[in-house]
Structure 1
Amino acid sequence: MTKNKRMTVILASALSLTTALAGCSTDAGSTGSGGTAAPDKEAKPTALNIMLELTLADPPGEDNPVKLEIEKRTNTKLNFSWVSSNNYGDKQNVTLASGDIPEMMLVLDPYHPQVLSMAKQGAFWDLTAQVKNYPNLSKFPEETWSGIAIDGKYYGIPRSRALIGGENIPLIRKDWLDQLGLKVPVTMDDMYNVMKAFTDKDPDGNGKKDTIGFTGFVAAEGMGQFDWVENTFNGSNGRWKAKDGQLLDTYTGKETRDALVWLNKAYAEGIISPDFPTLKNSQVRENITTNKAGMFADAMNPSWLLTGQMRKANPKADVMPLTYLEGPNGKYAPKNIGSYGMFVIPKSVPEAKVKQILQFMDYGASEEGWVLANYGLKDIHYTEKDGLKTTNEQAIKDKVNAYGWIFANLDKYQRGYQSGIPADFMDRNRTIIDERAKVAIPNPAIGLISDTATKVGKEYDKKIQDMKTKVIMGREPITAWDDFIAKLKTEPDYQKIVKEINEEYAKRVKK
């Protein structure tokens, strides 16, 4: 079977789900082994109030055809409270604090202190024992469920996402490599040499020295689009690295120091963006599409998004995600946690309705459900050819992608896809995802909770990142980092964080 055929989503093969649907007004427990209950055509539609993030300027209307179709197939009446992504976090916190929580609500971070506290106090339904009764939800990968677990329990339904392709790893102008006769970089030495060549050797052929090797930004509490440098040196996915049954704090190790030395040299030689502390994501991407930079770090999706934009003027333009990088500790590629937030159900919702909500979300975890929510109606909102779906103007008009926030895309190649992507480009992205999966490193600390970190962890994160930025820019020497780390090792609260994380990790390892 070809790769394209494996990717093909044939709605006809999923139509049987419509007649086997959970009618959301029936008792999920009546299915016995957990199969989806048949809808009761005479039953009154179940009303559901749902709070969701909105990335569009305006929300879909009540008569939206995708919404109406979801309601029809699930026998529901959906009342969405759309909240702009610009202030969703604030609205989430205010709503949780008020106690007036919708019947189902997306929380972006399951480990936000407020969410943790409320979960432990019994504010949300514990769904741990129930999810096995729902065939599609129970098929989520273990990493998806563990990514929202609190003390080993599920206080929500994960918003599933693909495990590979969603974390920062460099994307490179492959056409610039070809122009300069360079190979795809693999080691950190390769990366440095390519970045320098992109800066010094006129890769865009305009006769001017107006390009840089890498563009990216750092965040106030972390390395942002530069985290791949630390991770490659450490051979880890994030701050914590599993070794000999313990979690090592990579911040205090030699490899993080080496990464800062590497970045300081790159900054001093002008091969990374000089304004990296203040850049925004939109500016980073503009640096790529306007031929100012040859590399940036992101999920895989923008590879075609940016390539497609550039090919209007330059048919040879090609932004390619790297498969992995090799550092002193081996090959590095990150594995995602398998979820982006979770949907909580407050304890004020009766148990019978909890089952109806789970049945509704189980439909969303079916092939038919997630295709409907993410792409809309076939031949109305999208067409399909060679296993690839291409959305159209009607999909934009009907704001189809808004519903992808409730029924996540379950395609394992999701992060390599962008609407309109050519088959050969998608084939390459699928191959990269398959190869990454062989070496991808998970974050071993996901779901581990330190009470001290909950209270003061962000303060430490800001102090640490501030010092990293100063060292990279040469405002502080690397010896200042050494002194900073030596002091951290003597601070009781910092050491408590390391101790508490390891205590939680030890409990997990023993299970």
Structure 2
Amino acid sequence: MKTKRFALSAVAGAALISTLLAGCAKSGPQGQGAPGADKGPTTIQMMTVFFTPEPPGDDDVTKKEIEKRTNTKLNISWVSSNNYDDKTNVTLASGDIPELMLVLDPFHPQVKTMAAQGAFWDLTPYIKDYKNLSAFPALSWQNSAIGGKNYGIPRVRPLEGSGNFPLVRKDWLDKLGLKPPTTMDQMYEVMKAFTEGDPDGNGKKDTIGFTGLVNPDGMGSFAWVENTLNGANGRWKEKDGKLVDTIFEPGTRDTLVWLNKAYKDGIIAPDFPTLKNSQVRDMITTNKAGIFADAIKPSWLLTGQMRKTNPQADLLPLTYLEGPQGKYVPKDSGVYGMYVIPKTVPEAKMKKLLEFMDYGATEDGWMLASFGLKDVHYTVKDGVIAPTEQATKDNVGVFLHLFANLDKYERAYQTGIPADFLNRNKQIIDERAKYSIADPAFGLNSDTYTKVGKDYDKKAMDLKVKIILGREPITAWDDYVGKLKSDAQYQKIAAEINDEYKKKKAK
């Protein structure tokens, strides 16, 4: 049920697999020696993504330093994020696969087919020999595995601090003598107090508790309510070794009742069905609302904006909320794509590529790729990394998309953040790690969902909005869910997802 995919025709895919298995695709010039060895540099062909206006050149400072430290010669095909999927299509279909290639969606059906038929190296038995790669979070390897095997090196991302979860105006809490909410009942009371208690002190009834938006096919900013009441991160929840669709869970129904009451009490933005993300943030920074849902990272971005006129402004990311199923906060997948190595690369060269990526999994490698050279491109004070003007001149930071992100506190940081604010964010991340819940269905596909799933999602979301707004009774939801239970096509989605889940766990 992944939403972002690249298209690849079955004919092109089949032709590619035959080509790869025959060993006819080009694998690039072969270097001698391994990273760090005394022999000549290892030449590595790769394809990866960049997000800056221009990609690095051959004389890039970071590139030269990485080559120096790893005894390599990097021939990198940089592709803009705007058309990376299209370039992936062309590259895979051509059969001319770089020795290291970033695949943003490891679970595209064609990629899975190629892996199963031997087009890529199965790295599973080799990873244990690489100290730093094997130290990646287990969830990162699990969430990039195909059929229980790892056909690529995961592009690791931090597990905590992302996702959709409430950030609360702590200065408003302090003014009203309230503590940060930890239960859904307390959350409701805080939202109500922010609406009725004049938290901004202007003597007017012009604030609201929570602001957010919804999507045509999903709960958007309000997903945290449903997830907390279901005790699940997203659409699927594990029960007795199987995945169940939370649309049938009582927590989803309870969410509609909870939000309908909040709407009638006037403590959520009344125009939430039409709001955009920029409007939601504006409501926070202009003191119109006291709570919204986002990752931890924007906490300082928006607080910093507000402190220009209100030095006491303070957005606090909540650690967790407790619902009927226990404490909940979302855990990230821990991965964003993976680097595959085509089987046309000889085993000896494949191991050299793993050595190179193993260096990238060290703190030294990651810091270099992300920030450049210390005291040239960045300085460190009170634990805060500050880029220099030279970093901008040298286009530093582009290489961070090549290596793993080893900083578990990355989402705590924002440019210009004070040390005390950063340290508090770090503490919140440490606390979240005790309670966070992962999405058990990450990377799982259903052919039936691909064909018709979005139609079901849109119908369900349309009804949810009507119930929240009071235009339909809650019994309409009961009727809708009852029909889905006897809908063979809808039930087939769950069957296919569970088949995938069994394969994922069969490592």
Q: Structure 2 length as normaliser, TM-score?
A: 0.86
CA deviation vs aligned residue, 1:403-449 (integer Å, no higher than 9, x gap): 22112321222222223322222221222122222222222233544
On the 8 A contact 1:195/1:213 being kept in 2, the answer is yes
CA positional deviation for 1:373: 1.3
Structure 2 CA distance for partners of 1:405 and 1:451, relative to 1, 3 Å: same
Alignment of 1:59 onto 2:55: yes
**Residue 277 of structure 2 is aligned with which of 278, 281, 287?**
281
Q: Name the counterpart of 1:68.
A: 64
Q: Name the counterpart of 1:494.
A: 490
Work out the CA distance in 1 between the residues paired with 2:289 and 2:193.
11
Q: Name the counterpart of 2:101.
A: 105
Secondary structure at the counterpart of residue 369 of structure 1: helix
**Residue 326 of structure 2 is aligned with which of 330, 337, 344?**
330
CA positional deviation for 1:233: 0.2
On the 8 A contact 1:26/1:356 being kept in 2, the answer is no
Secondary structure at the counterpart of residue 105 of structure 1: strand
Structure 2 CA distance for partners of 1:268 and 1:121, relative to 1, 3 Å: farther
Query: 1:25-64 alignment to 2 at 5 Å?
Result: 25=31, 38-40=36-38, 42-54=39-51, 56-64=52-60
Structure 2 CA distance for partners of 1:38 and 1:62, relative to 1, 3 Å: closer
Q: Name which of structure 1's ranges 79-88 and 125-134 shifts more when overlaid on structure 2.
A: 79-88
Alignment of 1:443 onto 2:434: no
Structure 2 CA distance for partners of 1:486 and 1:356, relative to 1, 3 Å: same
On the 8 A contact 2:409/2:426 being kept in 1, the answer is yes
Structure 2 CA distance for partners of 1:104 and 1:215, relative to 1, 3 Å: farther
On the 8 A contact 1:449/1:501 being kept in 2, the answer is yes
Structure 2 CA distance for partners of 1:109 and 1:286, relative to 1, 3 Å: farther
Work out the CA distance in 1 between the residues paired with 2:196 and 2:214.
24
On the 8 A contact 1:27/1:352 being kept in 2, the answer is no
Q: Runs of 5+ in structure 1 lacking a partner?
A: 1-23, 29-36
Query: 1:33-182 alignment to 2 at 5 Å?
Result: 38-40=36-38, 42-54=39-51, 56-93=52-89, 95-182=91-178
On the 8 A contact 1:233/1:329 being kept in 2, the answer is yes
CA deviation vs aligned residue, 1:234-279 (integer Å, no higher than 9, x gap): 1111222222333222111211011122223333444333443444
**Residue 254 of structure 2 is aligned with which of 258, 262, 272?**
258
On the 8 A contact 1:93/1:114 being kept in 2, the answer is no
Work out the CA distance in 1 between the residues paired with 2:275 and 2:79.
26
Work out the CA distance in 2 between the residues paired with 1:150 and 1:448.
10
Structure 2 CA distance for partners of 1:90 and 1:296, relative to 1, 3 Å: farther
Q: Name the counterpart of 1:4.
A: none
Alignment of 1:482 onto 2:490: no
On the 8 A contact 2:210/2:291 being kept in 1, the answer is yes
Structure 2 CA distance for partners of 1:473 and 1:355, relative to 1, 3 Å: farther
On the 8 A contact 2:171/2:314 being kept in 1, the answer is yes
Structure 2 CA distance for partners of 1:461 and 1:101, relative to 1, 3 Å: farther
Q: Name which of structure 1's ranges 296-305 and 113-122 shifts more when overlaid on structure 2.
A: 113-122
Structure 2 CA distance for partners of 1:367 and 1:263, relative to 1, 3 Å: same
Work out the CA distance in 1 between the residues paired with 2:458 and 2:89.
21
Q: Runs of 5+ in structure 2 lacking a partner?
A: 1-29
Structure 2 CA distance for partners of 1:371 and 1:427, relative to 1, 3 Å: same
On the 8 A contact 1:105/1:345 being kept in 2, the answer is yes
CA positional deviation for 1:53: 4.2
On the 8 A contact 2:152/2:339 being kept in 1, the answer is yes
Structure 2 CA distance for partners of 1:77 and 1:220, relative to 1, 3 Å: farther
CA positional deviation for 1:450: 4.0
Alignment of 1:246 onto 2:242: yes
Structure 2 CA distance for partners of 1:470 and 1:433, relative to 1, 3 Å: same
On the 8 A contact 2:226/2:251 being kept in 1, the answer is yes
Q: Name the counterpart of 1:304.
A: 300
Secondary structure at the counterpart of residue 242 of structure 1: strand
CA positional deviation for 1:27: 5.7
- The root-mean-square deviation of aligned C-alpha atoms, in Å, is 2.7
Alignment of 1:368 onto 2:364: yes
Secondary structure at the counterpart of residue 182 of structure 2: coil
CA positional deviation for 1:25: 4.4
**Residue 263 of structure 2 is aligned with which of 240, 255, 267?**
267
CA positional deviation for 1:170: 0.9
CA positional deviation for 1:485: 1.5
Equivalent residue letter for 1:464: A
Secondary structure at the counterpart of residue 257 of structure 2: helix
Equivalent residue letter for 2:236: W
Work out the CA distance in 2 between the residues paired with 1:60 and 1:278.
40
CA positional deviation for 1:228: 0.9
Q: Name which of structure 1's ranges 420-429 and 172-181 shifts more when overlaid on structure 2.
A: 420-429
Alignment of 1:216 onto 2:216: no
CA positional deviation for 1:211: 2.9
Report the count of equivalent residues.
478
On the 8 A contact 2:36/2:71 being kept in 1, the answer is no
CA positional deviation for 1:219: 3.3
CA positional deviation for 1:193: 2.0
Q: Name the counterpart of 2:313.
A: 317
Work out the CA distance in 2 between the residues paired with 1:283 and 1:57.
27
Structure 2 CA distance for partners of 1:485 and 1:94, relative to 1, 3 Å: farther
Work out the CA distance in 1 between the residues paired with 2:105 and 2:269.
30
Q: Name the counterpart of 2:227.
A: 231
Q: Name the counterpart of 1:409.
A: 405
Percent identical among aligned pairs is 67
On the 8 A contact 2:328/2:435 being kept in 1, the answer is yes
Work out the CA distance in 1 between the residues paired with 2:309 and 2:203.
18
Equivalent residue letter for 2:256: L
Query: 1:395-474 alignment to 2 at 5 Å?
Result: 395-474=391-470
On the 8 A contact 1:50/1:78 being kept in 2, the answer is no
Equivalent residue letter for 2:333: I
Work out the CA distance in 2 between the residues paired with 1:383 and 1:90.
38
CA deviation vs aligned residue, 1:288-326 (integer Å, no higher than 9, x gap): 223232222222122122222322222111111101001
On the 8 A contact 2:41/2:73 being kept in 1, the answer is no
Q: Name the counterpart of 1:184.
A: 180
Q: Name the counterpart of 2:14.
A: none
Q: Name the counterpart of 1:204.
A: 200
CA positional deviation for 1:327: 0.7
Q: Name which of structure 1's ranges 228-237 and 67-76 shifts more when overlaid on structure 2.
A: 67-76
On the 8 A contact 1:374/1:401 being kept in 2, the answer is yes
Q: Name which of structure 1's ranges 212-221 and 491-500 shifts more when overlaid on structure 2.
A: 212-221
On the 8 A contact 1:113/1:454 being kept in 2, the answer is no
Q: Structure 1 length as normaliser, TM-score?
A: 0.85
Work out the CA distance in 2 between the residues paired with 1:139 and 1:327.
33
CA positional deviation for 1:460: 3.4
Work out the CA distance in 2 between the residues paired with 1:202 and 1:396.
44
On the 8 A contact 2:56/2:398 being kept in 1, the answer is yes
Structure 2 CA distance for partners of 1:401 and 1:240, relative to 1, 3 Å: same
